[in-house]
Amino acid sequence: MTQDALKAAVADAAIKEIEPWLDRNTVLGIGTGSTVNLFIDRLRPLRDSFRGAVASSEASAERLKALGIDVLDLNSTGTLPFYIDGADEVNANLQMIKGGGAALTREKIVAACARRFICIADESKHVARLGDFPLPVEVIPMARSYVGRELVKLGAEPVYRQGVTTDNGNQIIDCFDFMIDDPAAMEARLNAIAGVVTNGLFAARGADVLLLSKGDGVARTA
Ligand code: 5RP
């Protein structure tokens, strides 16, 4: 199976996971990325069965709106029943690295407001230890060099993601050669550096459900 076919299969599985719970008041939290895009496309026939969505990026918001799905302000929705998003890496404890698409801060905010985080991924994202994928860190632009020096002290090789401005007007540093033994401790440590908006470790708030697409079907872990 191609990676695209695996992504399509897990998008189908995510629809099955949430469909029984939808009603006219349901507001869904929607992530960002190519896997989520397939999930968004599959919401189209269901668009009259739920109220709308909160998006973790301008790109996802545009895609939702193009399908006629209302995009709501998180400040007006309260707790969301589900947040559906992909991952760049996910481990056995359902902790993740996210932010390959530079949407990590809004992803973390929407995930924090959700009762259930459903991570949808293909098997290439499943790892024993987080860190092969370069960990993204969103920084306030004036702090970029300072944060880079602090990341070197922690053992990372920081690389400025040139030409990328986040939806929040900030910049991204990717941490290469940075294997992570204790994701929750590292998440907190990185967030304590002045000028860091957030980092792509989703450990303090990991996923509640992992739908992992493999050649022989979609495995569900909760
Ligand atoms: C965006 C993300 C995405 O969830 C992550 O990059 C996975 O994307 P894809 O589904 O395209 O592989 O964190 O910031």
Low-confidence stretches of the chain (pLDDT < 50) are none
136 Cβ below 6 A of ligand 1: no
Tell me whether residue 107 is one of the annotated catalytic residues.
yes
pLDDT of residue 1: 86
Ligand 1 center to 119 CA (angstroms): 10
pTM over 0.80: yes
* Predicted local confidence at residue 199, as pLDDT: 98
Distances from the Cα of 177 to the Cα of 118, 132, 157, angstroms: 28, 7, 6
Q: Are 55 and 92 spatial neighbours (Cβ–Cβ below 8 Å)?
A: no
Question: ipTM surpassing 0.95, yes or no?
Answer: yes
Residue 98 Cα to ligand 1 middle (Å): 6
Q: Is 181 helix (H, G, I), strand (E, B) or coil?
A: coil
Tell me what pLDDT residue 15 has: 98
